[in-house]
Amino acid sequence: MTAYKPFGNEIECKIIYYGPGLSGKTVSLEHIFSRSRRRARGRVVQLASQTKRALYFDYLPLRLARISGRPTSLLLYSVPGQRPFEDTRRLLLKEADGIVFVADSHLNRLESNFESLHELYKNLGRLGIDPQHMPMVFQYNKRDLPHATPLNRLTAVLNEWGLPEFPTVATRGEGVFDALKEIACQVVDRAAQLPPAIRGFSSTRRYLRHQVA
Ligand SMILES: Nc1nc2c(ncn2[C@@H]2O[C@H](COP(=O)(O)OP(=O)(O)O)[C@@H](O)[C@H]2O)c(=O)[nH]1
Ligand SMILES: [Mg+2]
């Protein structure tokens, strides 16, 4: 859940990049890090084993400007996608404010995407969270692959509730910020119970979009 610091009025929103192993979660966070303003970003912390990349998880804090006078941060985490790390994935989901589900467009990975998504729903359920009430967006990643699963097939198999979805090529950074901006709008809107418009911007969403990239 959104954290409020005891002596301040800061807002911290925890966003989890979830998906099967090797779908592009770490590369997405690396792109966000590389394109964020220096002052806004913390370090990417990669808790990785020596043999496999990001076997545990990645963590990237991003500071936004004040919203309605309150310092606001996004804490981005990516889960380890490999099968044996379900406990780590569930732990990371605790107190999550929003999810970016990173699906792999490789034809052979459709089933892994589906399994990972249903594991996510099961894990949320075990934490007492109704998946339908969790803000979430999809990244359909690796759109550059020559034989990628068609987008309408990914939508049909994964996106049964018609959530926002973004075709991405994380290795080139394409679409990654679009997905982040959408989830940021959803979670910060919720957390801060923002007024419909902030001075100088026609809507809070527009203001947040301006903040994130
Ligand atoms: N072709 C292609 N490869 C990608 C893309 N995004 C990630 N990859 C590759 O997929 C592999 C796994 O990426 P990584 O971010 O470590 O996956 P994670 O397990 O989800 O964190 C790496 O070799 C990446 O270079 C993409 O958009 N297109
Ligand atoms: Mg990773």
What is the residue extent of each domain of the chain? 3-212
Confidence at residue 98, expressed as pLDDT on a 0 to 100 scale = 96
Say what the pLDDT of residue 106 is: 98
Give the amino acid at 76.
L
Output the pLDDT for position 69. 73
Ligand 1 first shell, C-beta below 6 A: 19, 21-27, 53-54, 78, 81, 141-142, 144-145, 169-171
Give me the residue label for tokens 């998880």: 57
Whole-angstrom distance, CA of residue 113 vs CA of residue 94: 21
Which pLDDT score, from 0 to 100, does residue 105 have?
98
The ligand minimizing its distance to the Cα of 30 is 1
- Please give the pLDDT value at position 204: 58
Distance 141 CA to ligand 1 centre (A): 8
17 with 32: CB under 8 angstroms?
A: no
Instruction: Give the model's pLDDT for residue 51.
Output: 45
Closest CA to ligand 1's atom 3:
142
What is the reported pLDDT for 213? 58
pLDDT value of position 50: 41
139 touches 177 (CB < 8 A) = no
Atom of ligand 1 nearest to the CA of 53: 16
Please tell me the residue having the least CA distance from ligand 1 atom 26. Answer: 142
| CA 41 – CA 129 distance, rounded (Å) | 29
Q: For residue 73, what pLDDT is reported?
A: 86
Q: What is the pLDDT along the chain (213 residues), one digit of tens a residue?
A: 565 554 456 788 899 999 999 999 999 999 998 888 766 666 555 544 444 554 567 888 888 777 767 788 899 999 988 888 888 889 899 989 999 999 999 999 999 999 999 999 999 999 999 999 999 999 999 999 998 999 999 999 999 999 999 999 999 999 999 999 999 988 877 766 655 555 556 555 666 666 665
Architecture of domain 3-212: 3-Layer(aba) Sandwich (3.40)
* Candidate from 25, 30, 109, 171 with most ligand 1 atoms within 8 A of CB, to mutate: 171
Question: What is the pTM assigned to this prediction?
Answer: 0.86
Which residues, at least 6 apart from 186, have a Cβ–Cβ distance to it below 8 Å? 98, 135, 137
